[in-house]
């Protein structure tokens, strides 16, 4: 048993060593859309002790759990030299023994944990997707367009002296409208220097009865800035009504055929039998 | 004398004929009735769907058709639309047991919405303990709105039925109070109005809304209806939005999305069920519930079995 | 000589048809008791079923067990007048009318018992208007009513010759019976052809009632067996109920027969030999019932599933243990064993034993209906004390007694104004005897 366990952990560590932990280039450049401050660091600390402490220990104290591979202390230069985007990606996706926190920690909270870890990295300076403070949200217009395949593009523009100018660094989230709320598709993205952010939406996302979905783009760093657009996209999910089949549990007009026949036959047989007896009794007096 | 006698016999013959006719027509009528019932039922339901502004024309037709049609016609518009349900929807509830702290806000909201006495529960938070050595956990238990509902199977009068969007409703204007459904439900999800219900003063003149099952009626069954009246308005069921701890998700399976009643966050249903080890209650009974549970693991709060955690 | 004999038989068998004070007093007493019980039902109608001990968990109480008991007792009509007669057991002929009257009375009132359990009795017509043929209740209503009709016919058709014989024999206050019997005899004159028709129709009805009788009690058992509850969800529930019904029915016949024998002075016609045969019959059906009981309790004991184990524990050693063992041993096993001995198959001991058997039969229905509901799959929590403990209330008891009084009234009336022992058949027997 012990041998098996050792072999297992060994192989796991070998795999992770061999593969390293590469983060896709575009993910590396991702940055938080808010400035790390005391408040975010505080709540980041709280989140850290809830979710990360059990393996990584206190940051800077090297009291992490001895696992294979080593979870490591997060104050080291190894960690410090990685970009915010890299840390964000790893926290989100996980690998090997490190679990994925995609579902259990929200996007903002992930940034807060990073804010806390960064307080141990000397010489760190945050690159933040700061919006252009000179523009107010009323000047910006968002537009959603469909591109090739599963890609959708959100463009942020503003009118300046009669000309349309692209706006960059608008942190956007794209939602699809559902009956009770809005479902986030893809992760948040900031518009690039072209004023564009490209999202992908899975092709089989359920559409309404007409085969349409309603998309909503929301700017995280401009309050109440949003756009709404309907597209013919997704999978027209037309399921039969749940009370369609003939079944014992369904209403009487959807009773199983065999039951209708059986019941009717039974009633007829009883009626006929009684009718026959009564007829015979009626004719009794004639039998002299 | 002979004339008198023949008169007498003919009268007697007539009487016996009449009796025979009566008895056999009752028996035969019953049989024919059962046979014809299904055809007329089909026609009827089509007619009701077609009911719009030409109300009058159809009404005459129905009245002429049969006495059954007449009583069917007494159904209010609220009941009619309640029996049809929302087209293209398949409601589904997800209950995350790891978040339930027994705050009981769901029970309170439910009892207020459906005019229940404090000891009557459409949703009941149970303290469960599966085996002696496993931990206790709190389990909110609404009606499971089964896709193979044992309760509707036994109803003698179609008072309880499953609609196209999956909700199992109860019509307390139809219910005869036989309580067979209570006996058949393995989840103890139904209550009976043994005495005067807890209606409010203003409910007295209210038209019966089958989707809310209010006003409640003495001598009939009452049960969780997923707040069908609120769903029609695009609102979450009252228990779902009342929860302070994010226990409930509710949504449309056809949209593959459920919305958390506390955070209002919408997540993918299929992913939520897959990632969290979702299960249904007593699935071995073949009831196919529309309520899913996420196991009570990784609870982020202390569980005190002996404490009645009414407050958050 | 033969004529004299004939006259004596007729007058012996019809002498109880009169309006004596005893009978009127008896009916008066029953009426008063019935009115008291109806008062309790009025309470229930106005205040709702809260006057009973029922709750959301034990939602079917003694009304339902009463119903099952009624259906069970009514089954004896089929056993005595159909199975025994068709199989050539002619000793049962004098008892067949008593059995048929019991069948008519119990099946006529069984429906009312169910109505008393309904929360909305004023909506009874919904069952016809909206009847849902998938529900075992609808089958039950259909079959119980059909069984009632068949039982009535099976009571009436063999009675026709007796009505013919008796019409014109009454005087005084009972003169009206002459006319009623005359109309009732449907022009029967005792011709060979008519005799044959009556015999043929009786035989036909005896065959026809067989599937219905099996149906009525099987469907009643399905009301329980069609759910998924432990203690109910059993495949042998149909035959289990039917065999139990035979036991209850034989006991009911013995009791009614003994009473009638005394009040109607029928000692010469309901003899020791009948009791001996009935005792043997009780033995046979009890053995069958014991066999089904062993099946019903032993098999889940082996499987020992959580819910089953709990159910069985409650019966064997828990809350219901005393009632359970009293019913199983005191009212089933011991009576059956005693029937092995001839001295217990006499009038007095058999009458006493039958009372035990019938009380046990009622309690057994209680044990079938109530304990299962006390332990649903999910725990019972956040409810009032009432929901944790089903206690029969006074109103509930009275409402349950009402149908029993009604049954006794029907049996009393039918056995008062119609010959208890079939006259025509007794005459035939004597004639056949003389010929041989």
- SS3 of residue C57 by DSSP: coil
Share of chain A above pLDDT 70, in %: 90
Which residues does C105 contact at the CB level (< 8 Å), separation at least 6? C74, C406, C407, C410, C411, C414
- Strand bridging mode B248-252 / B257-260: antiparallel
- SS3 of residue A226 by DSSP: strand
Q: Which chains touch C (3 or more CB pairs under 8 A)?
A: A, B
- Cα within 13 Å of Cα(A256), Cβ side: 9
- CB < 8 Å & 24+ apart, contacts of C22-25: C22/C263, C23/C412, C23/C416
Q: With an 8 Å Cβ cutoff, is B47 touching chain A?
A: no
State the burial class of residue A29 (Cβ atoms within 10 Å of its Cβ: 0-12, 13-18, 19+).
middle
> Is A287's CB within 8 Å of C153's CB?
no
For B218-240, the pLDDT digits (tens) are 999 999 999 999 999 999 999 99
Cα A172 to chain center, whole Å?
A: 15
- SS3 of residue A19 by DSSP: helix
Name the minimum distance, in Å, from the CA of A277 to any CA of chain B. Answer: 10
Q: Which of A258, A270, A283 to mutate to test the interface with C (most CBs of C within 10 A)?
A: A270
For C198-248, the pLDDT digits (tens) are 999 999 999 999 999 999 999 999 999 999 999 999 999 999 999 999 999
In this structure, of A234-238, C42-46, C156-160, C400-404, the range with the lowest mean pLDDT score is A234-238
Question: d(Cα B144, Cα B289) in Å, to the nearest integer?
Answer: 5
Name the minimum distance, in Å, from the CA of B110 to any CA of chain C. Answer: 14
| Residue closest to C168 by CA, chosen among C179, C184, C157 | C179
Tell me which DSSP letter residue C135 carries: S
Taking a contact as any Cβ pair under 8 Å apart, which residues of chain B between 184 and 243 contact chain A? 234-236
Mean pLDDT calculated for residue range A105-134: 83
Question: d(Cα C366, Cα C396) in Å, to the nearest integer?
Answer: 14
> Is B219's CB within 8 Å of C134's CB?
no
**DSSP state string for chain B:** -HHHHHHHHHHHHHHHHHHHHHHHHHHHHHHHHHHHHHHHHHHHHHHHHH-SS-HHHHHHHHHHH-HHHHHHHTS-HHHHHHHH--TT--EEEEEEGGG-----HHHHHHHHHTT--TT--SSEEEEE--STTSPPEEEEE-----SS-HHHHH-SSSSEEE-TTS-EEE-TTT-----HHHHH-TT--EEE--SS----GGGGGPPPBTTTTBS--TTSEEE--TTHHHHHTTPPPHHHHH-SS--EEEEEGGGTEEEETTT--EEEHHHHHHHTT-B-TTGGG----SEEEE---S-SS---SSS-----
Tell me which DSSP letter residue C80 carries: I
Q: Locate C257 and state its tokens.
A: 């027969």
Q: Which of B70, B174, B183, B282 to mutate to test the interface with C (most CBs of C within 10 A)?
A: B183
Q: Do residues C81 and C425 make contact, with C-beta atoms less than 8 angstroms apart?
A: no
Geometric angle at alpha carbon C107, from C49 and C275, rounded to 5°: 125
Backbone phi, psi, residue C69, to 5°: -65, -40
> Is A255's CB within 8 Å of B45's CB?
no
Tell me which DSSP letter residue C123 carries: G
Q: For residues A187, A188, A194 and A196, what is the CA-based torsion angle, rounded to 10 degrees? A: 70
Name the residue of chain C whose CA is nearest to B149's CA: C227
Taking a contact as any Cβ pair under 8 Å apart, which residues of chain B between 148 and 167 contact chain A? 148-150, 152-153, 158, 161-166
In chain C, the N- to C-terminal Cα span, in Å, equals 16
Tell me which DSSP letter residue A99 carries: P
Please, what is the average pLDDT of chain B?
A: 80
> Is B218's CB within 8 Å of C133's CB?
no
- Chain C residues near residue B75 by CB distance under 8 angstroms: none
> Is A274's CB within 8 Å of B275's CB?
no
In this structure, of A34-48, A64-78, A105-119, C163-177, the range with the lowest mean pLDDT score is A64-78
pLDDT of B73 higher than 70: no
Please, what is the average pLDDT of chain C?
A: 92
For A251-283, the pLDDT digits (tens) are 999 999 999 999 999 999 999 999 999 999 999
Residue with tokens 């593009």: A153
Q: With an 8 Å Cβ cutoff, is C376 touching chain B?
A: yes
pLDDT of residue C66: 95
Cα A219 to chain center, whole Å?
A: 18
pLDDT of B38 higher than 60: no
pLDDT of residue A132: 67
Predicted structure pTM score: 0.82
pLDDT band at B6 (very low <50, low <70, confident <90, very high): low
Question: d(Cα A74, Cα A72) in Å, to the nearest integer?
Answer: 6
> Is C227's CB within 8 Å of B127's CB?
no
State the burial class of residue A7 (Cβ atoms within 10 Å of its Cβ: 0-12, 13-18, 19+).
exposed
* DSSP H or E run through C23: helix C21-47
* DSSP H or E run through A158: strand A151-160
pLDDT of residue C387: 85
pLDDT band at A125 (very low <50, low <70, confident <90, very high): confident
> Is A242's CB within 8 Å of B252's CB?
no
Q: Which of B27, B90, B266 sits opposite A178 (nearest CB)?
A: B266
pLDDT band at B26 (very low <50, low <70, confident <90, very high): low
Share of chain B above pLDDT 70, in %: 72
Cα C423 to chain center, whole Å?
A: 24
Mean pLDDT calculated for residue range A84-88: 88
For C94-113, the pLDDT digits (tens) are 899 999 999 999 999 999 99
pLDDT of residue C58: 94
| Residue closest to C186 by CA, chosen among C163, C154, C155, C152 | C163
| Residue closest to C102 by CA, chosen among C342, C370, C354 | C354
Backbone phi, psi, residue C294, to 5°: -60, -45
Share of chain C above pLDDT 90, in %: 76
- Strand bridging mode A235-236 / A206-207: parallel
Please, what is the average pLDDT of chain A?
A: 85
Q: Locate A75 and state its tokens.
A: 């104050």
Question: d(Cα A166, Cα A157) in Å, to the nearest integer?
Answer: 4
pLDDT of residue A100: 81
- Chain C residues near residue B37 by CB distance under 8 angstroms: 131
Question: d(Cα B156, Cα B1) in Å, to the nearest integer?
Answer: 57
Question: d(Cα C386, Cα C191) in Å, to the nearest integer?
Answer: 66
- Cα within 13 Å of Cα(A65), Cβ side: 9
Share of chain C above pLDDT 70, in %: 99
**DSSP state string for A164-222:** EEE----EEEEEEE-SSSEEEEEEEEE--TTSEEEEE--TT-EE-TTSEEEEEEEESSS
pLDDT band at A78 (very low <50, low <70, confident <90, very high): confident
| Residue closest to A277 by CA, chosen among C92, C249, C385, C202 | C202
Which residues does B15 contact at the CB level (< 8 Å), separation at least 6? none
> Is B34's CB within 8 Å of A263's CB?
yes
Q: Is the peptide bond before A234 cis (omega within 30 degrees of 0)?
A: no
pLDDT of residue A163: 83
Q: Which of A270, A274, A285 sits opposite C187 (nearest CB)?
A: A285
| Residue closest to B86 by CA, chosen among B169, B155, B152 | B169
Q: Which chains touch B (3 or more CB pairs under 8 A)?
A: A, C
**DSSP state string for B271-287:** HHHHHTT-B-TTGGG--
- Strand bridging mode B248-252 / A151-160: unpaired
Backbone phi, psi, residue C174, to 5°: -85, 5
Geometric angle at alpha carbon B111, from B109 and B115, rounded to 5°: 125
For B166-198, the pLDDT digits (tens) are 999 999 999 999 999 999 999 999 999 999 999
pLDDT of B57 higher than 70: no
- SS3 of residue C198 by DSSP: helix
- Chain C residues near residue B190 by CB distance under 8 angstroms: 56
> Is C133's CB within 8 Å of B34's CB?
yes
Q: With an 8 Å Cβ cutoff, is B23 touching chain A?
A: yes
For B108-124, the pLDDT digits (tens) are 999 999 999 999 999 99
For A169-210, the pLDDT digits (tens) are 888 999 999 999 999 998 888 888 888 999 999 998 999 988
- Chain B residues near residue C378 by CB distance under 8 angstroms: 126, 141, 187-188
Q: Locate B67 and state its tokens.
A: 């006495």
- Cα within 13 Å of Cα(C378), Cβ side: 24
Q: Which chains touch A (3 or more CB pairs under 8 A)?
A: B, C
- SS3 of residue C169 by DSSP: coil
Q: Do residues B301 and B105 make contact, with C-beta atoms less than 8 angstroms apart?
A: no
> Is B255's CB within 8 Å of A253's CB?
no
pLDDT of residue B226: 96
Question: d(Cα C261, Cα C275) in Å, to the nearest integer?
Answer: 12
């Amino acid at each position: 048993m012990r041998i098996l366990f050792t072999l297992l952990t060994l192989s796991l560590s070998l795999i992770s060593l061999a593969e390293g932990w590469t983060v896709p280039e575009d993910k590396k450049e991702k940055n938080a859309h808010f400035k790390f401050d005391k408040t975010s660091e505080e709540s980041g600390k709280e989140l850290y002790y809830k979710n990360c402490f059990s393996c990584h220990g206190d940051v800077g104290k090297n009291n992490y759990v001895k696992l294979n591979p080593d979870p490591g202390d997060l104050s080291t230069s190894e960690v410090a030299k990685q970009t915010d985007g890299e840390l964000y990606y790893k926290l989100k996706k996980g690998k090997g023994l490190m679990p994925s926190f995609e579902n259990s920690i929200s996007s903002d909270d992930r940034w807060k944990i990073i804010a806390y870890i960064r307080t141990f990295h000397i010489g760190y300076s945050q690159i933040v997707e700061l919006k252009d403070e000179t523009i107010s949200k009323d000047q910006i217009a968002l537009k959603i367009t469909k591109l090739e395949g599963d890609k959708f593009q959100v463009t942020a523009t503003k009118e300046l002296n009669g000309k349309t100018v692209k706006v960059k660094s608008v942190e956007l989230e794209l939602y699809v409208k559902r009956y009770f709320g809005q479902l986030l598709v893809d992760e948040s993205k900031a518009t690039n220097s072209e004023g564009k952010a490209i999202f992908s939406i899975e092709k089989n996302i359920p559409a309404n009865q007409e085969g349409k979905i309603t998309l909503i783009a929301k700017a995280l760093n401009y309050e109440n800035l949003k756009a709404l657009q309907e597209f013919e996209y997704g999978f027209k999910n037309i399921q039969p009504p749940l009370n369609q089949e003939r079944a014992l549990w369904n209403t009487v007009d959807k009773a199983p055929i065999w039951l209708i026949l059986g019941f009717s036959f039974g009633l007829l047989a009883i009626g006929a039998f009684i009718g026959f007896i009564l007829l015979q009794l009626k004719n009794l007096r004639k039998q002299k | 004398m002979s004339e008198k006698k023949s008169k007498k016999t003919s009268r007697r013959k007539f009487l016996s004929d009449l009796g025979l006719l009566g008895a056999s027509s009752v028996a035969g009528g019953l049989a024919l009735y059962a046979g014809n019932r299904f055809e007329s039922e089909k026609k009827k339901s089509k007619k009701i769907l077609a009911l719009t502004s030409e109300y009058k024309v159809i009404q005459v037709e129905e009245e002429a058709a049969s006495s059954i049609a007449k009583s069917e016609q007494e159904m209010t518009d609220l009941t009619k639309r309640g029996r049809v349900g929302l087209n293209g929807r398949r409601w589904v509830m997800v209950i995350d047991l790891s978040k339930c702290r027994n705050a009981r806000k769901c029970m309170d909201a439910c009892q207020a919405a459906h005019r229940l006495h404090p000891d009557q529960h459409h949703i009941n938070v149970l303290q469960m303990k599966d085996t002696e050595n496993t931990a206790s956990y709190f389990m909110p238990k609404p009606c499971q709105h089964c896709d193979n509902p044992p309760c509707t199977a036994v109803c003698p009068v179609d008072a309880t039925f499953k609609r196209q969007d999956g909700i199992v409703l109860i019509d307390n204007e139809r219910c005869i109070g036989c309580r067979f459904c209570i006996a058949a439900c393995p989840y103890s999800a139904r209550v009976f109005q043994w005495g005067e219900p807890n209606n409010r003063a203003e409910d007295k003149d209210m038209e019966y809304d089958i989707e809310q099952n209010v006003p409640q009626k003495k001598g009939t069954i009452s049960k969780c209806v997923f707040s069908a009246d609120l769903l029609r308005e695009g609102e979450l069921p009252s228990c779902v939005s009342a929860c302070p701890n994010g226990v409930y998700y509710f949504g449309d399976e056809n949209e593959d999305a459920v919305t958390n009643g506390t955070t209002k966050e919408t997540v993918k249903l299929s992913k939520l069920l897959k990632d969290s080890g979702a299960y249904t209650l007593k699935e071995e009974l073949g009831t196919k519930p529309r309520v899913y549970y996420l196991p009570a693991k990784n609870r982020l709060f202390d569980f005190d079995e002996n404490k009645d955690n009414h407050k958050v | 000589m033969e004529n004299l004999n004939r006259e004596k038989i007729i007058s012996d068998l019809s002498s109880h048809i009169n309006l004596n004070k005893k009978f009127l007093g008896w009916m008066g007493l029953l009426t008063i008791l019935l009115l008291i019980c109806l008062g309790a039902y009025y309470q229930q109608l106005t205040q709702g079923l809260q006057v009973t001990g029922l709750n959301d968990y034990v939602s079917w109480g003694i009304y339902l067990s009463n119903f099952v008991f009624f259906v069970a007792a009514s089954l004896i009509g089929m056993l005595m007048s159909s199975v025994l007669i068709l199989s050539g057991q002619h000793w049962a002929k004098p008892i067949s009318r008593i059995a048929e009257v019991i069948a008519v009375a119990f099946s006529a009132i069984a429906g009312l018992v169910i109505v008393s359990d309904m929360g909305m009795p004023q909506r009874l017509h919904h069952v016809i208007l909206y009847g849902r043929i998938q529900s075992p209740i609808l089958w039950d209503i259909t079959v119980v009513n059909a069984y009632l009709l068949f039982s009535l016919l099976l009571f009436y058709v063999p009675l026709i010759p007796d009505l013919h014989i008796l019409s014109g024999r009454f005087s005084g206050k009972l003169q009206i019976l002459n006319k009623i019997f005359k109309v009732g005899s449907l022009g029967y004159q005792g011709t060979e052809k008519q005799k044959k028709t009556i015999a043929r129709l009786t035989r036909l009805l005896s065959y026809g009632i067989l599937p219905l009788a099996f149906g009525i009690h099987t469907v009643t058992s399905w009301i329980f067996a069609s759910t998924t509850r432990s203690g109910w969800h059993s495949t042998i529930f149909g035959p289990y109920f039917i065999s139990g019904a035979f036991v209850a029915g034989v006991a009911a016949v013995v009791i009614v027969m003994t009473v009638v024998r005394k009040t109607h002075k029928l000692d010469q016609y309901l003899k020791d030999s009948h009791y001996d045969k009935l005792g043997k019959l009780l033995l046979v059906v009890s053995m069958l019932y014991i066999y089904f009981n062993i099946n019903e309790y032993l098999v889940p004991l082996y499987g020992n599933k959580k819910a089953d184990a709990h159910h069985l524990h409650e019966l064997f050693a828990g809350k219901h243990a005393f009632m359970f063992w009293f019913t199983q041993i005191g009212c089933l096993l011991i009576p059956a064993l005693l029937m092995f001995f001839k001295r217990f198959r006499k009038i007095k001991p058999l009458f006493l034993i039958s009372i035990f058997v019938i009380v046990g039969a009622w309690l057994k229905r209680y044990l079938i209906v109530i304990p299962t509901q006390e332990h649903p799959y999910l725990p019972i929590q956040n409810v009032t004390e009432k929901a944790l403990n089903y206690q029969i209330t006074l109103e509930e008891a009275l409402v349950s007694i009402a149908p029993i009084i009604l049954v006794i009234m029907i049996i009393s009336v039918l056995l008062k104004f119609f010959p208890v022992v079939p006259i025509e058949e007794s005459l035939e027997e004597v004639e056949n005897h003389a010929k041989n």
